[in-house]
Amino acid sequence: MNEKPRILVVDDDTALLQALPQALYIRMQDVDVDTSDSALEALDLLQKNDYDAIVSDIKMPGMDGLALLAKVQELRPETPTLLITGHGEHDLAVQALRGGAYDFIQKPIDRDYFVAALRRAIHTRQLRRQVYEQQLALKLHAGSLEGLVQRRTRELVEANAVKDKFLSIVSHELKMPLENLKGMTQMLQRQIETSTAPDLIHRGLADMERSLDRTEVLVQDLLDTSLIETNMFTLHRKRCDLVELCRQLLDEYTAGAGPDLSFDYLGKPIEVEVDSDRICQVLINLFTNARKYSPKGSPITVTLQQSGYEATISIRDMGVGMPEEVIPYIFDQFYRAPSVEVQNGSRLGLGLGLYISRKIVERHGGRIEVISSPGKGSVFSIILPIHVDPQAENVEGIATLTPHTQAIWTMVR
Ligand code: ADP
């Protein structure tokens, strides 16, 4: 980079060929000058050396300066060429510039002008070289970055595959002993129901069963996540009435020790084509969250609406709610708000419930929407496409239906 600049002077006039380098050495000590008395020889030198600038007379016998300029443009397009023209040869000067000359110098040569023009040319060449080197460095850097991204992506994909495999193995392995334990606990419970076993044993068994239920949900969540991540998650869709599906589920969910249920309104059926087990799984998850994040005694309202080709199930709670900025993250795998207050003695889950719920709803061609604010509760809405019979006469009519409520339930405990 900091080498002495090197220039080539071409002229058939040997007197000038000696005088010009002399003039240069006096004014520019830091330059190497090669000379050539013909364009052909100059071409030879050009092949071997990368000059910082070339100065050539235009008029020379054989190959002239303009032809040499054309060759320089071809061989060394980055090297600036200055052409020397006779006094008043304006046409030639214009031709030189059009041909790509960096500058032209008129005879008789003004030494100071000549040196200044040459300095500019050398500077330009050096700048061009710097730009080229920086471009090259950037290209190399971009190349190595690209390689790095590819390597990291490969590593991530591999790590993910290992994680999914691990999830699948662990959840499968846990499922069996869990089911055994649960079966045995239930059997023991049936056995002692008839006997006069101490209260402690009754309570102990009931506790065990609750813990097992909770573990079962966690294992099932892990299994579902692994199925989703490995693209093995399949739906078994059937046509059914969404109003009836919700009614049955709420009846089961609130049976026994569950919350009290009241329905305020029950309307016409809404036909959908869904995997009802999976939709129930989503609803149970949303009911459980609504209870988990609300104070005891506050109502949870479930509303079923139809609007055009969409059915919406909304679950509204009056609980702790959440700040708007966390909403985009609650559907991420393993997301748990760091400071969320859990009510009713519930425990925090693995943060997989909403992730799985969203995937299930999306697989049905639907979506989940959330409205929430801290202290004011949340509304989770599941929006599903309704089933449209292409044979039906009134297909267009459905799309223009104004939104209307088909059912409302309230749970309180
Ligand atoms: P978790 O098992 O931790 O409840 P989820 O995926 O079901 O996992 O929920 C993720 C997070 O979303 C929760 O940790 C909680 O912060 C927030 N969340 C979900 N439902 C509600 C709700 N009804 N009210 C307030 N926060 C909620």
**Measured in angstroms, how far is the CA atom of residue 122 from the centroid of ligand 1?**
69
Nearest alpha carbon to residue 315 among 342, 275, 285: 285
- Alpha-carbon distance of 215 to 192, in angstroms, equals 24
pLDDT score recorded for residue 353: 94
Residue 1 has pLDDT above 70, yes or no: no
3-state secondary structure of 34: strand
- In sequence order, the 6+-apart residues with CB closer than 8 A to the CB of 77 are none
| CA 399, 400, 402, 404 torsion-angle sign | negative
- Asked whether 343 and 295 are in contact (CB, 8 A), the reply is yes
pLDDT for 106-126, tens place per residue?
999 999 999 999 999 999 999
Q: Ligand 1, from 220, 327, 330: best to mutate by most atoms within 8 Å of Cβ?
A: 330
Whole-number Å distance between alpha carbons of 120 and 320: 73
Would the pLDDT of 56 be above 80?
yes
Tell me the mean pLDDT in the region 63-91: 94
Residue nearest atom 16 of ligand 1, based on CA coordinates: 337
82 lines ligand 1 (CB under 6 A): no
Encoded tokens for 367: 């979506």
- The answer, yes or no, to whether residue 180 has pLDDT greater than 60, is yes
For ligand 1, whether the C-beta of 378 sits within 6 Å is yes
Vertex 357 angle, CA 336 and 214, to 5° = 65
Q: Which residue has the tokens 């060759």?
A: 71
**CA-317 nearest atom, ligand 1:** 23
Residue 47 confidence (pLDDT) above 80:
yes
pLDDT value for 401: 66
For residue 44, pLDDT over 90 is answered with: yes
Atom of ligand 1 nearest to the CA of 321: 25
- 169: pLDDT confidence band, cut at 50, 70 and 90? confident
**151-160, 171-180, 390-399: segment of lowest average pLDDT:** 390-399
pTM: 0.64
Q: Ligand 1 atom closest to Cα of 352?
A: 6
Q: From the CB of 349, is ligand 1 less than 6 Å away?
A: yes
pLDDT given for residue 383 in this prediction: 98
In the chain, what percentage of residues exceed pLDDT 70?
Answer: 97
Helices 111-194 and 14-27, axial angle in degrees (round to 10) = 60
Range from 198-202, 245-249, 324-328 carrying the lowest mean pLDDT: 198-202
Span 310-322, average pLDDT: 96
Is a pLDDT exceeding 60 seen at residue 197? yes
Q: For all residues of the chain together, what is the average pLDDT?
A: 90
Any atom of ligand 1 within 6 Å of the Cβ of 348:
yes
The predicted structure's pLDDT at residue 60: 94
Q: How far is the CA of 380 from the centre of ligand 1 (A)?
A: 11
Report which of 224, 287, 250, 239 is spatially closest to residue 385, judged by C-alpha positions: 239
Q: How many Å is the Cα radius of gyration of the chain? A: 42
CB 39 within 8 A of CB 62: yes
pLDDT 10s digits, 207-232 = 888 888 888 888 899 889 888 988 88
- Burial, 300: exposed, middle or buried (Cβ in 10 Å; 0-12, 13-18, 19+)? buried
Question: Could you tell me which residue, 16 or 392, shows the higher pLDDT?
Answer: 16
pLDDT in tens, 375-406: 999 999 999 999 887 776 655 555 556 788 88
Q: How confident is the model at residue 190 (pLDDT cuts 50, 70, 90)?
A: confident
Range in 44-58, 77-91, 329-343 the model is least confident about: 329-343
Least confident of 76-85, 161-170, 188-197, 292-301: 188-197
CB atoms within 10 A of CB 249: 17
Portion of the chain with pLDDT greater than 90, in percent = 65
Of 169-173, 234-238, 326-330, least confident by mean pLDDT is 169-173
Angle at 150 between CA 149 and CA 151, to 5 degrees: 90
Check if 388 has its Cβ closer than 6 Å to any atom of ligand 1.
Answer: no
Band of pLDDT at residue 347, cut at 50, 70 and 90? confident
How far the first Cα of the chain sits from its last, in Å, is: 81
Identify the CA nearest to 215 among candidates 164, 160, 173.
173
Q: Say if residue 182's pLDDT is above 70.
A: yes
Rounded to whole angstroms, how far apart are CA atoms 198 and 13? Answer: 124
**Mean pLDDT score, 15-37:** 92
CA of 333 to the centre of ligand 1 (A): 12
Q: For the chain, what is the largest distance between any 2 Cα atoms, rounded to a whole number of angstroms?
A: 130
Q: What angle do CA 85, 89, 93 make, to 5 degrees?
A: 60
Per-residue pLDDT, 211: 85
- Closest atom of ligand 1 relative to the 221 alpha carbon: 2
Closest residue by CA, ligand 1 atom 19: 289
Pocket test for ligand 1, best of 215, 282, 289 (most atoms within 8 A of CB): 289
Q: What is the pLDDT of residue 386?
A: 94
CA 355 / ligand 1 centre spacing (Å): 10
Looking at residue 402, its pLDDT comes to: 75
Give the residue, out of 228, 322, 356, with the most ligand 1 atoms within 8 A of its beta carbon, to mutate for a pocket test.
322
Ligand 1 proximity of 288 Cβ (cutoff 6 Å): no
Q: What is the pLDDT of residues 120-147, one digit of tens each?
A: 999 999 999 999 999 999 999 999 999 9
In this structure, of 29-43, 74-88, 389-403, the range with the lowest mean pLDDT score is: 389-403
